[in-house]
Structure 1
Amino acid sequence: MLWETFSVVRDLSRLHDIASILIRYGWGDFVRVLGIGTVLERAGRILHWHAQPSEISQLEPAIRVRLALEELGPTFVKLGQVLATRVDLLPPAWIVELEKLQSNVPAVAFELIEAELVALLGKPIDEAFLKFDREPFAAASMAQVHRAELFDGTRVIVKIRRPGIDKKIEADLRILQHFARLIEHDMPEARRYQPTMMVAQFRRSLRREQDLLMEAHNIERFSQNFAGDETVHIPQVFWDYTCSTMNVQEELVGIAGTDLAAVRASGMDMPLLASRGADLVLKMILVHGYFHADPHPGNVIYLPGNRIGMIDFGMVGRLTDYRRQQLVNLLDALAHKDEEAMLQVLMDWTGDGEVDEAKLGYDVSELMFGYDNLQLKDVKIGAMLTEIAGLIRENSLVLPADLTLLFKALITLEGLGQQLDPEFHLVDHLTPFVRGVIAERYTPDALIKRGRRSLKDAFEVVAGLPRDLARLMREARRGHLRIDLDLKRLDQFGQQLDRASNRITMGILTASLVIGSSIVMTVDGWRFMGFIGFLLAFLNSLWVILSIWRSGN
């Protein structure tokens, strides 16, 4: 199966690089389990299984994973950054380590992108811009950014995708998809994490991030959502220069969110900045259902007048109205320490997954008990969400993908607010939003809308009943009616039955050998063959006894 999976010759070279790096950082067992070594050896490529330096072997596993991902390149760095949002899958120590992954890489020489830039602009660079800085001021794994100035004096940034990156990313994604299939096939304990689905989601996310036109549309939507809000500034997109491999947007001139000393020296109102930043992100999540998925300090610009500017809209999160209502229910349950309401939301999030409701309920009760004597203002939302993620992880549950980005955004938001204002409490800003969303549920318009939807759904069920019954009867007449039974532990029962039948067969063969050998021993000249038969019967008996002893049954 593995050889067929990796039969595409064009990926073998990249596969060899990946396997070599994994071995060097102490993950040779993973390479062996997936059978990658066998594949490469059949293709004539040799792996050095003892290439791990001694100093690397002393590092913690999380550090070795981070270093390996950094060396594996842009696709795997992005994968690590996505895994850093999976607080429901990885323990805090791993999250902290993966958060150190940086997309910053050496810039591509301008000469290598100049021809493509001219082709995209449709004119020489000097005719498109009054000024253009050929030295990039930022370079990431997917694109690099140059400062420029339009002929009307507007300062802009030109983001252009790195040339030749698409083929490498596609090869990496193919290999990751193969890895996921093999993990699901060979590691049953990993199936609950749905690795093939996770890789598919990562593929979609990465392709959206590669598409700079998609980022421009994201910026435009955020700009529309915050039109008229004087406390927020979203960059303007210049569509005449924008396509899938390049976008041009307004440069926000202010103080980077990472430079707290400069913010303090400027005399800005830091508590007000923290408050406005929290309200900005919470409005994205709870009102618009469309939020910046990575609101860390590097993506925030503080502007004159204590305004908040946001940049880098390549990664965004979306919430359906139903998911937003679930989130509000969870936050309301946290605020009011309502165990039953919180348990109900978590059960809804598990979907079709198997869950021990009694254990989950007990864990929720234990979590709430830890907050019993705390006043609402003292509750740290980020810490509580981290505990909930740990609770989900301990119960072998997996958060829906849209919620993992949300959890990470809220945890990051609280940390950012506390950097600006030690007295910042996210719960103080969260409570009014939650109350507002709950109040909106019971407005006349909302009640009428839900009533209409319920009536429509009920009517469609009743109206479709004759059709569904007719289809059911037709399938039954054709002999196509099928009932699927999912019997728990059936696989284990089959294995036990298989082992029992093997023992019975060996027992019958042993008895036959004893009887046959006894007959042969009575014939002159054949006694030696009878002795051989007895010896084989003895060995078979030992095998049966040993197998029974080892199984414990």
Structure 2
Amino acid sequence: MQRDLGRLAQLATILIRHGLGDLIGRLGLTGAARKAGRVLKPSDAVASVDLAPPQRLRMALEEMGPTFVKLGQILSTRADLLPSAYIAELEKLRDRVPPVPFAALLEEVDAERGHPLIDDFVEIDPIPLGAGSIAQVHRARLENGGEVVLKIRRPGIRAKIEADLRLLDWLVDIAMAESAEIRRFRPDDVVAEFARSIRTELDLANECRNAERIAENFRDCVHIHVPRVHWQWTSEIMSVQDVAAGTPGTDLEAARRAGLDLRRIAARGADAMLQMMLKDRFFHADPHPGNVFYLPGDEIVFIDFGMVGHLSRRRRDELVDLLTGIVDRRPEAVTSILLDWADAGANPGLENRIDGFIDRVHGMPLKSLNLSALVLDLVALVRAHDLVLPPDLTMLLKAFTTLDGMGRELDPEFDMVAAAQPFLRRLMLERFSPAQLAHSARGHLLAGAGLMGRLPEDLRRLLIDAQQGKLSFGIEVRKLDHLMDRFDRTITRVTLGILIAALIMGSSIVMTVVGGELPVGLGFFAMAGFSGAVAGGLWLVWSILRGRKD
């Protein structure tokens, strides 16, 4: 890590300047900062110190660069890890970076392609449509007159991000070794999830594969569109897609002037996202207004598939069971699913709070339910009991809440719960249909048959191991060593107590002998024995009292 110490010193300086030097200490990274040659001095905090801590953290992440902006965006989906004030502030993180000169972009693309990029297009606008931390977008025109957008990766960005990821891995190892509280939140899982996400986003061809997969899922839906990919020019460092025409989702006034029905758009958008999440199990993980366009006829265009989510069939079914448990007022079922997700044991306190949560939900009219608030309240309950949700679910919950907020902007009467009900009902019917039950039974029978087929060979190996003396049994009793240690101390104290009592009685008898003088020196030894017995008794009492505190 010697090569990354300079970067570590730079990051520590940024945190201190934004008044976040104590964060380094809380994470157990003070030693790492000193190793990087940066001594923590609160007097260095000169920027943004009058702002709230969540604001200062957002500003520090923006200054740290693209890797940490993306990390902040991932953390904004983890309401089970951070308080709501931090979540709200980190949601404001956007890739606001100055554009790279077009000539610098061309240099890397031309080197990869082996010929000038400009030769493949009639015209390329050198002024970017947008600039992000990983790539920037330029408009271009084809020979047939069609317009496309070129998304070109920033030169040298992969090396910078890989260096930051190495540094994050190292810092997480240190933090987990230094702090049990940090280990409880499994930061290694968070960083691993983040590393997978950002490495995937670095591959612009992968984003196009995501786009085509979702386009294929909506091939029969005439009002949902995804821009076409031009694969002859697409690679890891550049993607080429048709221009997304229409009204930007960020300009609702323009949509109203164009005569679009915003309520219908909200309903169609919700249906599309719910199909991605619950039916296809492959979904756009960041459906904010900047990633959609609206076309005449109230049609929707989705763009930017760099961040997507995937749900296993089992996880999707668990989610359906969770929502059904809330609807059917079964707190024990909801609690069981949450504990399974968090890989935790029984928690009666959580079930009581879930019961109260469900009662509160059922006391409200359906249209009054705010799905965003509902999800955040549920996650807050999980967080209050020191539980952590799996990463794939936090991405889904984030998409749910973003979609709910976007739907309410389009239609103040938007009811996400009502929109989700047909999907949940259909999924429940499919799961318990005769065909699905037969399919599940066939799977279990095949698994059982496979197990029975392997049984003779497994028994043969077991017998061979037993004959060769390789078979051993182990019984582990938790805290047995501690119990035996306490038992040993107890026996020792009892033995010492008996010896001290005998010594006191013997000394007393000798000292109180009547009739005749004691032999020379015997009185002294009797007094010494008595005094030693008293001291030993006092020590024994003190030891017993101290043992009770332990």
2-side partners of 1:99 and 1:122: how far apart?
40
- State the 1:10 CA deviation: 1.1
Whether the aligned pair in 2 keeps the contact of 1:136 and 1:147 (CA below 8 Å) is yes
Please state how far the C-alpha of 1:338 moved relative to its aligned partner: 3.0
Alignment of 1:357-368 (within 5 A): 358-368=348-358
Q: Is the 8 A contact 2:13 2:38 kept in 1?
A: no
1:432 aligns with 2:422: yes
Cα gap change, 1:11 to 1:54, in 2 (>3 Å): closer
State the secondary structure of the residue aligned to 1:370: helix
Once the two structures are superposed, what CA deviation does each residue of 1:270-311 show, in whole Å capped at 9, x if it has no partner? 000000000000000111000000011111111121101111
Which structure 1 segments of 5+ residues have no match? 1-7, 505-540
2:9 aligned residue: 16
**Matching residue's letter, 1:27:** L
Residues 19 and 47 in structure 2, CA contact (< 8 A), matched pair in contact too: no
Q: Gapped runs of 5+ residues in structure 2?
A: 494-537
- Structure 2 SS opposite 1:371: helix
Matches within 5 A, 1:6-45: 8-32=1-25, 36-39=29-32, 41=34, 45=37
CA shift at 1:470, angstroms?
Answer: 4.3
Shift of 1:29: 3.1
The share of aligned pairs that are identical, in percent, is 42
Q: How do 1:83-482 and structure 2 match up within 5 A? A: 83-351=75-343, 353-356=344-347, 358-475=348-465, 477-479=468-470, 481=472
Shift of 1:52: 3.6
C-alpha distance in structure 2 between counterparts of 1:94 and 1:473, whole Å? 59
> 1:132 touches 1:147 (CA, 8 Å); kept in 2?
yes
How far apart are 1:153 and its partner, in Å? 1.7
For residues 188 and 47 of structure 2, what CA distance do their matches in structure 1 show? 34
Partner Cα separation in structure 2 for residue 396 and residue 470 of structure 1: 46
Contact 2:18–2:47, Cα closer than 8 Å, also in 1: no
Does 2:491 correspond to 1:485? no
**Matching residue of 1:512:** none
The structure that has the greater radius of gyration is 2
In 2, are the aligned partners of 1:254 and 1:302 still within 8 Å (CA)? yes
Code of the residue aligned with 2:149 in structure 1: it is: I
In structure 2, C-alpha distance between the alignment counterparts of 1:367 and 1:33, rounded to whole Å: 33
Name the CA distance, whole Å, in 2 between partners of 1:23 and 1:104: 22
Are the aligned partners of 2:29 and 2:174 in contact in 1 as well (CA < 8 Å)? no
Q: What code does the residue aligned with 1:245 have?
A: I
In the alignment, is the contact (CA less than 8 A) between 2:287 and 2:403 conserved in 1?
yes
Of 311-320 and 28-37, deviating more is 28-37
Shift of 1:364: 0.9
Which residue of 2 is the match for residue 522 of structure 1? none
* Offset of residue 121 of structure 1: 4.3
**SS class of match (2:140):** strand
Given the two structures, how large is their TM-score scaled by the length of structure 1? 0.84
Q: Deviations over 1:177-210 (max 9, x none)?
A: 1111112211112222211122112111110011
Aligned partners of 1:304 and 1:484: how far apart in 2? 71
Which of 58, 69, 76 is the matching residue for 2:68?
Answer: 76
| In structure 1, C-alpha distance between the alignment counterparts of 2:33 and 2:176, rounded to whole Å | 21
- Whole-Å Cα distance in 2 between the matches of residues 161 and 15 of structure 1? 25
Report the Cα offset of residue 340 of structure 1.
Answer: 3.2
- State the TM-score, normalized to the length of structure 2: 0.84
Cα deviation code 1:301-345 (max 9, x no counterpart): 111211011111001000111111111112222333332332232
Q: In structure 2, what is the Cα distance between the partners aligned to 1:58 and 1:14?
A: 27
Residues 378, 33 of structure 1: alpha-carbon distance in 2 compared, 3 angstrom cutoff: closer
Q: Distance in 2 between matches of 1:139 and 1:288?
A: 31
CA distance in 1, matches of 2:360, 2:12: 45
Query: Alpha carbons of 1:93 and 1:37: their partners in 2 closer, same or farther (altered >3 Å)?
Result: closer
C-alpha deviation, 1:92, in angstroms? 1.4
Does the 8 Å CA contact 2:318/2:337 hold for their aligned counterparts? yes
Structure 1 residues 32, 434: closer, same or farther in 2, change over 3 A?
Answer: closer
1:237-265 Cα distance to aligned partner (Å, 9 max, x none): 00000111111011111111111111122
Rounded Cα–Cα distance in structure 2 between residues aligned with 1:486 and 1:385: 40
Q: RMSD between aligned alpha carbons?
A: 2.9
| Corresponding letter in the other structure for 1:266 | A
